A and B are shown apart, each in its own frame.
Chain A
């Protein structure tokens, strides 16, 4: 067994905050050997990212790291910046989660690739330029010569992450730290990036420290895994061993957090509650003086669906597929063409006043548990707001009682309803959002990525909650998600969208089990279900 290239011993990371010191990492030790891939896994807030940020000297201003991080026998912690800069980017490189913001928006990517090459290897600009093109080829960017002059905003998220990787490997580092490098990307692109990283590792022989919350990724790429919880290491070992026989209860819970179960089918004669025909949404059409109108961009192009009582339709697609736009069109938050029938009544042309009583029947839960709750209203006020609109005759006490009941039903302690959204966790906020929809006793709830921003374990709880509510109230769901695992657990039928068009539709088991279209097959494979 080779000696470790990086050995961490008793690492502590503390942040000074207004409410006193917060210890994000408490005495974590592990090591990584040459050419090895180690994954550090944990949910948000487990401190998994802060360890390596600290070691690399990248902590926020109020953060401090203590302990020992020996890189080839040299302690990186407390190293002066000058000495650290001879290691960062040269022998240890790092890529980050945010491909959209991790590159400097004001410089062409060529210049950003060239700078570290000149700085660390002392290459001439010309030699660095040639090497940068090579690197872009290596990370499979098409037309690398032309791309050198492109700015980050002209590239897609996946391409930006490739550029980041090219930059990171430019000086042949011994260790690459990858901090959630695929989290912000679509599943198919995630798979490509992972393949690329494994490929590069084989070719360059570097070690990879992979920080992630996604166990699929761990199983796919890592040799060893370190499980973290609340700033502490709870388990460490070879991937196969840990997955097969987890020693720690928390690790077991993490592995079991995969959404399970399938939805029982609805009766064939269940009444149709919602019918959409040829829905289309066009953005950016402008009427111009003396010129023909601009055609605009079709975000949703002629989609139809029929939703029955108690049924769930899963709408799947990657970013830009038009799935959220379709939801907003159905909710009439966006102007659209086509017909929308709610309980057989056409609503697409109704004036806001006439639409108002029907709105009660079709509610929405949105993705962002931080953005979808008004920050200056209490949980109780948020839930009760719909009652204010639809049952103006109710007294304040009655509204409050109804809100408390809805919250209880969503397994949210109603005693906390005087608190504000920022005092709650993501899962709790999503429960408030569900209670807000539920309090109006709708027959349809549009769920727009309701679990995407949540950790797996919380995700599972929300899925269970949604399932129970559906059974108890006979709700119909339009479930929008990019996550096939969750969709499979909840849906009767699935619609796969791409660029605003329908790719494939059918019963859940069929579409996932035996996809007919190439795109669906890639999606399923990337989501590791195939």
Chain B
């Protein structure tokens, strides 16, 4: 008789929280934005026109531009510059449909190899030199190489768009990784301490207290010195330092949960300690842990950019938003886009993470509404 009755579906606390989260517009939009950001940073560097390592010597610190470089005004001076290097002179030139035709002269005749100098420039491509009517003249034809620098370029002539996206990859990966490491260590440590309780708990928390009084910066700088340039290891280490708060939160929650009647009821049923931990304590810890994790990720990202700012983070040509911002800050009076774009990316990401964190807190802890 019981088998035939249709089972009424239940709404778990998780699905309730999910519904609340979806109703929170700021949080949903932020999640979407973050996903987009992750996608851009993940795939973007393969799609954007320039590689992040390529140095465009002719385009140092050019401002952002929606249409292609070079601008018409740039061609003349660039031609002159290459001509000087090639030891030729340009008598006259004109551009038609992306093709440059110029008349070159040189006192001892124009060498064919002069074409290479033009090819080597970032502005021209496919240069050919045909001997002119006189020995000392020749005609140069070359294509103008079109390049897009939507975010402009840095002091070395690297494409800022590509760099920002690659930097985002690093920053996001670091935030996620270090955050995960911190959460794993913190949850294990805190849950163990709280669940065992008594003397063990006291001793474990004393250790946390002592680590708390250690200057955090010192810790991180020491770690960076240890692990040197390996950014992956460095940020696993940063994560390993940032678990203290997590451990405290989880311990407090575990202690509180342990006192609740359903844990005692499970004990009276004869459920083993492992079973209580797995079925009763951990599922109820997940909420605070998720909330704390969303707060931790932006902290780690700021931490990384802060280290990079001091020159202790990621090394060139790899970059992170912190590295780019530090370079941008140094160029701020005359090339403000160098600060503006990375800062915009970093801040908007942090904002989104913050909104998601707030949304999650509201969703998982509805008492606060």
Contact = CB atoms under 8 A, between A and B. Distances in A.
Direct contact of A and B (CB under 8 A): yes
Interface of A: 18, 328, 331, 333, 355-356, 359-360, 362-364, 366-368, 371-379, 385-386, 388-390, 401, 404-405, 408, 413-420, 422-423, 433, 436, 440
Query: Top 4 nearest A-B pairs by Cβ distance?
Result: A419-B10, A359-B270, A372-B261, A415-B5
B269 A359 contact: yes
A420 B13 contact: yes
A336 to B, nearest CB: 15
Given A389-B270, A401-B2, A414-B2, A420 B284 contact: no
A269 to B, nearest CB: 30
B12 A376 contact: yes
B270 A386 contact: yes
Given A333-B267, A404-B3, 10 more contacts: A18-B23, A328-B264, A359-B270, A366-B265, A372-B262, A374-B262, A374-B283, A385-B266, A418-B8, A420-B10
B13 A360 contact: no
B96 interface: no
5 contacts: A328-B264, A371-B260, A377-B279, A386-B269, A401-B3
Interface string B8-36: 11111110000010010000000000000
Contact of B8 (A368, A373, A419): A419
A422 B269 contact: no
B22 to A, nearest CB: 12
Nearest to A405: B2
Contacts, number: 102
Contacts of A401: 2-3
Contact of B279 (A363, A364, A385, A415): A385
Nearest to A328: B264
Contacts of A359: 268-270
B265 A433 contact: yes
B346 to A, nearest CB: 34
Contacts of A362: 268
B133 interface: no
Nearest to A62: B369
Contact of B280 (A18, A356, A374, A378): A374
B97 interface: no
Contacts of A331: 268
Interface in B229-270: 260-262, 264-270
Contacts of A436: 265, 269
Contacts of B268: 331, 333, 359, 362-364
B260, B265, B271, B279, most chain A CB atoms within 10 A: B265
Given A375-B284, A389-B275, A423-B11, A363 B269 contact: yes
A360 to B, nearest CB: 7
B21 to A, nearest CB: 12
A363 B272 CA distance: 16
Given A376-B283, A389-B269, A420 B275 contact: no
